[in-house]
C-alpha cells in the first residue's frame, strides 16, 4: 500500500457522513493523492467501494483492525 497523503477520521460518524466527508476531502486534494479514511460504521465496508465505483475514484482497499475500518482511495 502506498503512503496516504491525508487521513480523514470518521470514527463515530454514521452513514452517510463518512462518504460525504470523504467526497469533501477528495475535492480538496490533487489528482494522484491517496486518502486514508478511518471509520467504525459497519456500512462503510460496502459504501466506500460502491461510492468509488459510482464516482470514478480509485478504490485501493480496506482493512479492519480492532473494529476500525481503514479505507484507501486514490484521487483520479
Positions marked active-site: 15
Output Rg (C-alpha) for the chain, integer angstroms: 11
Q: What phi and psi, each to the nearest 5 degrees, are found at residue 32?
A: 95, -15
Half-sphere exposure of 23 (CA within 13 A, CB side): 10
Amino acid at each position: 500500500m502506498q503512503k496516504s497523503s491525508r487521513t480523514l477520521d470518521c470514527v463515530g460518524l454514521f452513514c452517510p457522513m463518512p462518504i460525504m466527508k470523504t467526497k469533501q476531502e477528495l475535492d480538496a486534494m490533487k489528482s494522484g493523492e491517496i486518502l486514508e479514511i478511518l471509520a467504525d460504521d459497519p456500512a462503510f465496508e460496502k459504501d466506500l467501494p460502491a461510492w468509488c465505483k459510482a464516482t470514478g475514484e480509485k478504490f485501493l482497499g480496506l482493512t479492519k483492525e480492532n473494529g476500525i475500518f481503514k479505507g484507501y482511495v486514490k484521487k483520479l
